[in-house]
Amino acid sequence: MKNFKIYIRDLIKTSIKIPKNFVDFVNTQIPKWIDNAIIALNYQENVHYIVQESLIKPVDYYSTGIVQSSTNWSDGLHQFLQIKHNIKMTSETFTTNFLSNRGYFTRYGPNLFGLTRTLGSEKAKQILVDVYKVDLVIIPNLRRKQYLSSPDIVAMNETEWLEEICRSTMNESNKERGILIICEIIEHSILITEKLQREYRSSGIKLYTTNNKNQEKNIETVYPSEIIIATNLAGRGTDIKTDQIEKNGGLHVIVTFMPSNKRVEEQAFGRTARQGKRGTGQRILNAASLTHNKDFDTEKITQLRDRIEANMLSNFE
């Protein structure tokens, strides 16, 4: 890699005439451009980003599922992705002003108030107290939660994984319940949608993968036997009305991946059994995405995930 960077640096100097006032900038950026050219090559459409209206739009698939329409990657990454898709290249962007979350809380802390249903793990809560100097108050539920968790399923490959998801979906749909399938990435949402459309009436399937196409309005209410297929977008603050299916058992949530932390998982399953209503949930996982684990005991995998998060938070602290 070192020799490659030297080669690129020499190539730029011999083939491009750089104004004197840009020489230092170019020398600083070359290593970043090289790294981001490789990252752009490895980034996947409908995973890390989408191409919409001839624009590259980053996707926060790891946490919120949000399509970040107003965000441009820096240090040439956005431009290399534009080249990759033969899209008109825009100018590189630079951050001139930046205020970290910690700086924001330090400056405005006494005047900040917030509500959330999912604070996350005990370690995450402690970080909020220690680092951001905030007080946490737990408000008890008005109504008793009526939620049942079904046993986890780990499929050995993608084909079996899709079959298990469809089997569970059709089983609950036949009971005239509503089903919410939450996927890690847009690509998986499309894959599951296509398979279900081959086996089920397409009019009963709703897709929610982007936050900039008004798709959220289509899932405000779920009706008997309807299927909603979504990314983490549906797992954060989305209030799906389930009155029409309450008598049939409420909304059944299927999470098709191992959530990155407890907060993300609680947000996903928190779409059902809201405000005293009935609901169920289940994780259906693909063993291929769990290759870093020695076995497929989901309880052990969850404990390992929580330990990794605790270590990361300790390093942050």
**CATH code of the domain covering residue 173:** 3.40.50.300
Do 292 and 164 belong to one domain? yes
Choose the most confident range, by mean pLDDT, from 15-29, 185-199, 284-298: 185-199
Do 154 and 128 belong to one domain? no
Do 253 and 209 belong to one domain? yes
Q: How many domains does the chain have?
A: 3
* Whole-number Å distance between alpha carbons of 152 and 290: 14
Spell out a b/e string for 149-177, using b for 16 or more CB atoms within 10 Å of the CB, else e. eeebbbbeeeeebbebbbebbeebbeeeb
Do 168 and 303 belong to one domain? yes
Do 219 and 125 belong to one domain? no
DSSP codes joined into one string, 207-250: EE--TTTTGGGGGSB--TT-EEEE-GGGGSS---B-GGGGGGT-
Do 175 and 279 belong to one domain? yes
What pLDDT is recorded for position 182? 96
- Length of the chain measured in residues: 317
pLDDT digit string, tens, across residues 236-290: 767 899 999 999 999 999 999 999 888 889 989 999 999 899 999 999 999 988 8
Do 156 and 126 belong to one domain? no
Residue 96, in any domain of the structure: no
Do 113 and 167 belong to one domain? no
pLDDT digit string, tens, across residues 58-95: 998 877 888 999 899 999 999 999 999 999 999 988 77
- For the segment 279-305, the average pLDDT, to the nearest whole number, is 87
Do 272 and 295 belong to one domain? yes
Range of the domain at 29: 2-84
Residue 239, in any domain of the structure: yes
Whether 154 shows a pLDDT value over 80: the answer reads yes
Residue 139, in any domain of the structure: no
Residue 119, in any domain of the structure: yes
- For the segment 5-26, the average pLDDT, to the nearest whole number, is 85
Q: Do 173 and 200 touch, CB atoms closer than 8 A?
A: yes
Do 275 and 229 belong to one domain? yes
Residue 89, in any domain of the structure: no
Do 105 and 170 belong to one domain? no
Do 128 and 150 belong to one domain? no
pLDDT digit string, tens, across residues 156-172: 999 999 999 999 999 99
Residue 80, in any domain of the structure: yes
Mean pLDDT of the chain: 89
Residue 140, in any domain of the structure: no
63: Cα within 13 Å, side-chain hemisphere? 5
Q: Do 232 and 184 touch, CB atoms closer than 8 A?
A: yes
What pLDDT is recorded for position 294? 66
Residue 66, in any domain of the structure: yes
What pLDDT is recorded for position 63? 77
* Whole-number Å distance between alpha carbons of 68 and 74: 14
Whether 205 shows a pLDDT value over 80: the answer reads yes
| Per-residue tokens: 198 | 């081959």
pLDDT band at 317 (very low <50, low <70, confident <90, very high): low
What pLDDT is recorded for position 7? 84
What pLDDT is recorded for position 297? 86
Choose the most confident range, by mean pLDDT, from 150-154, 198-202, 293-297: 150-154
